[in-house]
Homo-oligomer: A and B are copies of this chain.
C-alpha cells in the first residue's frame, strides 16, 4: 500500500503580500484556506484586481470539499465572487466575514446558490478526510481566526493573519489555551503568518493607539478628522470611545466607512451610546471643539473624502487652521506618494496633521519575531511552512524556526504553485501547478500570458503611432503617402512639423523597395523600420508603430 501523504499547494500569498490562498489535499479530498485578492501594483495600469489562478482546483472540482475563510479582509476573501463562478463548493467563514462576504456576493449577484456557512470557534467541521476547527486570533478586524485541521497524518495549524495583543479593543485574545491543548496532541504541520517576520520584538498593542487618540481628541482645539481603513473596526471603536469621553459627536464619512460602521453596529461588533453618531450635516452646525469626523482616504485614494478635503474639494468639510487631522494608518507599499501628497496638502490648508512618522497613531496587526517564536514554541510542529509574505519574509521566518530547533529539512519555503508532499517522515516538492496572477479588468479576466497589459505599459512609455497605408485593392499599389496619427508621443505642434516629413519618407522607402508580389507583411515592416528610424533620430523615442492597410 502506498504511504499516506498530505499535499500542500499554495495558490497565492507566498512571495507576495496579498491574494492568500492555500490548498490541502489528502486521500483525494481537497480543502482550501482563504481566497483573497491582490491590489494591483504600479506596473498593472488599469487593472482592478488580481486574483489567484485556480485552474488546479477547477480541474479537480469534484474533490474540493470546502473553502475556509480565516477573516473578512479582502486579501483573504476578495476572490470569492470569481472563484465561486467556477467552483461550486461550500464556504465556511467567521460571523463578521460571513456578513462582509454576503454583501460582496450580493453585489456580484452570486449570493443565491452559494453555500455560505457561519462558523463557531471550537466547533468541528467534517470536510471529507479533514476536520476543521477555528480558533480566535487578534488581528485588525474582529472575528479573525486561525484554523486547526485534523488530517490522517496529524493536526495542521494555520494561524491566519494574527498578532498577540494582550489588551485588544474587543477583549478577544489570541486563543493560546486552545492552541496549547491542540499542541499537547502533537502538531504535524504549522502554517504561520510571515508578514512581519523581519520585525524584531513584539508588535505594540492597540491599547497604545487608543490612548494616543484619546489624548489627541482631548487636546485638539477644533475639529478632529481621523482617517483609517474602513475595515479597522477596532480603531473606529477607539475613536468613538475617545469622542464620548471628551463630549464630542462623531460623523462617519466615505461610502465604505459608512457601510462598515452600519453593518458592524447592527452585528454588535461596534457600539456607540445613543446620540454619539450623527450625520455630517448635523455635525457641521456644532462648535468645532465638539466634532470628530471618521473618514476614508488614509492611502491617498484620489476619490476619497480625505483627499477631497485636502484639495478643498469636499462640499461639507473645508479644512481650516485649527483642524487636527490624524492619519491612523501606514501607507501600503506603493501608495506612499499619494498618501504623503495628501498629508502635504492638508498641511497646506493649515491643518495640524499627525501620522505614523510623527506620532504613535497606528500600529500594524501582524506578529513580530517574539510573537512568532511564541507560536513556534507553543505548537512545536514537526513540519513548518511559513506563509503570507514576500520571499525574504518567508526566509526570515524559516530562519527563526530553525533558531528554535526545527530542522531545516522540516522547514519548507515554498513558491505559489509548488506541490509539497509530506509523509509522516519527511517531504519534498514533487510537482508544480499553474499559479500566478489572474487580472480582473472591468468585466474581463486575463491570465499572465495576455498581451494587453504589456501593450499598455509599452504605449505608456513612448506613445503610439498609427500609419494608415492606402492600397489599391486589385494591384496592391500604394496610392498615397501614409496618414500618421499618434497619441502620447508628440504634441500637435511637433506633429505638424514631423509627420509630413515622416510620411514622405515612408512613401519613398515603399516606392524604393517596390517589387512584384510584395505582401502586406513586407509593407508593414518597411513602414515600421523607416518610421522608427526617422522618429528616433528626431525625438530620441520609439513609439509603438501600427501600420494599418486600407484597401480601396
Within 8 A of B (CB), among A368-414: 390-392, 395-396
Binds B, one of A4-12, A223-231, A541-549: A541-549
Q: How far is the CA of A485 from the CA of B544 in the complex (A)?
A: 13
- CB pair B540 A444 closer than 8 Å: yes
Whether A287 sits at the interface, judged by CB under 8 Å, is: no
Q: Which of A15, A446, A457, A488 has the most CB of B within 10 A?
A: A488
Q: How far is the CA of A488 from the CA of B44 in the complex (A)?
A: 11
A455-B487, A456-B488, A461-B46 known; A391 vs B348 contact (CB < 8 Å): yes
Instruction: Considering the complex, give the chain B residue whose CB is closest to the CB of A444.
Output: B539
A441-B541, A456-B488 known; A340 vs B461 contact (CB < 8 Å): no
- CB pair B391 A344 closer than 8 Å: yes
Q: How far is the CA of A390 from the CA of B341 in the complex (A)?
A: 8
Whether A462 sits at the interface, judged by CB under 8 Å, is: yes
Q: How far is the CA of A444 from the CA of B539 in the complex (A)?
A: 6
A357 partner, pick from B198, B391, B544, B548, beta carbons under 8 A = B198
Chain B residues near A461 (CB-CB < 8 A):
45-46, 456
Instruction: Considering the complex, give the chain B residue whose CB is closest to the CB of A353.
Output: B392
Q: How many copies does the complex hold?
A: 2
Chain B residues near A358 (CB-CB < 8 A):
198, 396
- CB pair B353 A46 closer than 8 Å: no
- CB pair A544 B487 closer than 8 Å: yes
Q: How far is the CA of A545 from the CA of B454 in the complex (A)?
A: 19
Within 8 A of B (CB), among A392-448: 392, 395-396, 441-444, 446
Q: How far is the CA of A539 from the CA of B442 in the complex (A)?
A: 6
Q: How far is the CA of A452 from the CA of B462 in the complex (A)?
A: 10
Whether A212 sits at the interface, judged by CB under 8 Å, is: no
Binds B, one of A56-64, A89-97, A330-338, A523-531: A330-338
- CB pair A485 B548 closer than 8 Å: yes
- CB pair B347 A395 closer than 8 Å: yes
- CB pair A452 B491 closer than 8 Å: yes
A398 to chain B, nearest CB (A): 10
Whether A451 sits at the interface, judged by CB under 8 Å, is: yes
Q: How far is the CA of A53 from the CA of B452 in the complex (A)?
A: 36
Whether A483 sits at the interface, judged by CB under 8 Å, is: yes
A539-B442, A540-B443 known; A459 vs B488 contact (CB < 8 Å): yes
Interface residues of A (CB under 8 A from B): 15, 41-43, 45-46, 198, 333-334, 336-337, 340, 343-345, 347-348, 353, 357-358, 390-392, 395-396, 441-444, 446, 450-453, 455-457, 459-464, 466, 468, 470, 483, 485, 487-491, 494, 538-541, 544, 546, 548, 550, 552
**16 A/B residue pairs, CB under 8 Å, sorted by A:** A15-B344, A333-B336, A334-B336, A340-B390, A348-B391, A442-B539, A442-B541, A446-B491, A452-B491, A456-B460, A457-B460, A459-B488, A466-B466, A466-B546, A485-B546, A550-B550
Q: 6 closest pairs, A vs B, by CB?
A: A442-B540, A460-B460, A456-B488, A344-B391, A45-B460, A443-B540
- In the complex, given contacts A441-B539, A452-B491, what are 14 additional A-B residue pairs having Cβ atoms less than 8 angstroms apart? A46-B461, A333-B336, A333-B337, A334-B336, A340-B390, A358-B396, A441-B540, A444-B494, A455-B463, A456-B459, A459-B487, A459-B488, A460-B460, A468-B548
